[in-house]
Amino acid sequence: MSTLEEVSHYINGEKVKGENDKYGYVYSPSNGQKIATVPYASDEEVDGAIQLAKKAAAKWAKTSVGKRVEVLFKFRQLLVENTEELARVLGKENGKTIPDAKGEVSRGIESVDLAIGAPQILKGEHSVNVGGDINAYSMKQPLGVVTCISPFNFPVMVPLAMSVMAVAVGNAMILKPSEKVPHSALLISELWEKAGLPAGIWNVVNGDKDTVNAIITHKDIQAISFVGSTKIAEMIHETGTKHHKRVNAFGGGKNHMVIMPDADLDKAVDSFLGAAYGSASQRCMAISVAMPVGKETAAVFTDKLKEKVKNLRAGSYEDETADFGAVISAEAKQGILDAIDDAVNEGANIVVDGRNPDVENKEGFYLGATLLDNITPDMNMYKEEVFGPARPIIEVGSIDEAINLINDHQYGNGVAVFTNSGRDARRFTQEIEVGMVGVNVPIPIPVGYHNFGGWKDSRFGEGQMFGPDTARFFTKTKTVSERWFELDDSDETNFNFPTS
């Protein structure tokens, strides 16, 4: 190995050096430089971590929910106190600007807020004398050892959203962060330790696809939560369920923004800018395509939009004047450039060309904001998710055409409609086949106490991320029928099926 920093795993309350000879490099997108090596855990390392987690889980499950929540309160405070440091670590290895990174940390804390309410969420049902002096009640119990496999684009928010409730309801966690952004997970690990979480309940195992396969097929992993590309999400779901795991796997999206003729176009343009190009468009809920309704709406919207897109600036995560940072890797940058070239070859027109941005560090993985029109539904630029700052405009003739096109698309993650018509908004929200809908809200990511989840090829499995469904996903329900005999009860054998 080189003299670069060597990233550790975090297992059973300690940083653990990787034992496998497989490793990858961590880059800083802002300057393109290698900053660390990250170990890829072997099957044996994965098994060792899971066995320690299993032992810890048995004790944690018997810890009162009140005691667990005490740890969560401390953890929340530590997240608040360390927001600046988290944001800087996140920005360095992910590339997003510091203000954007701080916003991510804040949204992640919402998941802790929800999990602090675990005592309320875990309450079961109770019925007195359902028949024959029998009381019936239910209880929610943890699954044991569960895993979360998180993406590069939200190194703090997504791991927190996926894992904190799992810990709160009594499970032990194996987190496999993206190998591109391992430092954020290790800093979160340190905060859990300071908060008093027992060793073995929160573990970080770094690795590649072989490590992932070792985790999701392991006999002691009970549930899998995944966020990433649709192709991998589908594979995770198929493999996990084949091995009898509970799985929720969140994939990609093509999030439309429909602009009706009666919309406030200035507000729509401003909303599109931040929602489409923020975080260098590397958000699964980023607006992917503008869909103005009618030629006049399209002409005015495009004219207003292009002038503002021209002024957007890409820059280092430390650049306070930058609107967004670099994309995650050189490979990602090339993939976005290829998508733009393909669109042009298919007949698209570049309204704003951001392929050669004016940036200080040419070695960074930078792309400027690109805007394309003359897009048709059969083009790959419209059909496929482009995870970078290249955004198409596709004009439609009516709200019916917009709804039909969106409903025909393979993805159903998020969608937004901008309108001043309550009638059109109500119709749109009722008829659209998408999991998360915004009305004059460009990025309809639910707050932490509402459920998050797309439809169609944007999600595989039935679990949610965020919201009360997270607790249901990470627990199993047991129903008890209980009767206590009086001392003078006579013994009678009854062969009839029991009824009330």
Q: Who contacts 490 (Cβ-Cβ below 8 Å, separation ≥6)?
A: none
Homologous superfamily, domain 255-439: Aldehyde Dehydrogenase; Chain A, domain 2 (3.40.309.10)
DSSP state of 452: B
pLDDT at site 132: 85
| Predicted pLDDT at 104 | 96
Q: Which residues does 256 contact at the CB level (< 8 Å), separation at least 6? A: 287, 288, 289, 291, 402, 405, 406, 409, 415, 416
Alpha carbon distances (Å) from 453 to 60, 244, 248, 342: 29, 22, 9, 30
The rounded distance, in Å, linking the Cα atoms of 134 and 493 is 17
Q: pTM (2 decimals)?
A: 0.94
Return the pLDDT at 1.
43
Each of the 500 residues of the chain gets a pLDDT tens digit; together they read 447 999 999 999 999 999 988 999 999 999 999 999 999 999 999 999 999 999 999 999 999 999 999 999 999 999 999 999 999 999 999 999 999 999 999 999 999 999 999 999 999 999 999 988 899 999 999 999 999 999 999 999 999 999 999 999 999 999 999 999 999 999 999 999 999 999 999 999 999 999 999 999 999 999 999 999 999 999 999 999 999 999 999 999 999 999 999 999 999 999 999 999 999 999 999 999 999 999 999 999 999 999 999 999 999 999 999 999 999 999 999 999 999 999 999 999 999 999 999 998 999 999 999 999 999 999 999 999 999 999 999 999 999 999 999 999 999 999 999 999 999 999 999 999 999 999 999 988 888 788 888 999 999 998 888 888 899 999 999 999 999 988 776 667 778 887 77
Q: Which positions are annotated as active-site residues?
A: 284
Q: Which 8-state DSSP code applies to residue 169?
A: T
Looking at residue 312, its pLDDT comes to 97
Instruction: Give whole-number Cα distances, 471 to 13, 174, 437, 474, 477, in Å.
Output: 24, 17, 23, 5, 11
The class of domain 5-251+458-480 in CATH terms is alpha beta
pLDDT at 2: 47
What number of other Cβ atoms are within 10 A of residue 81's Cβ?
A: 12
Residue-range domain boundaries for the chain: 5-251+458-480, 255-439
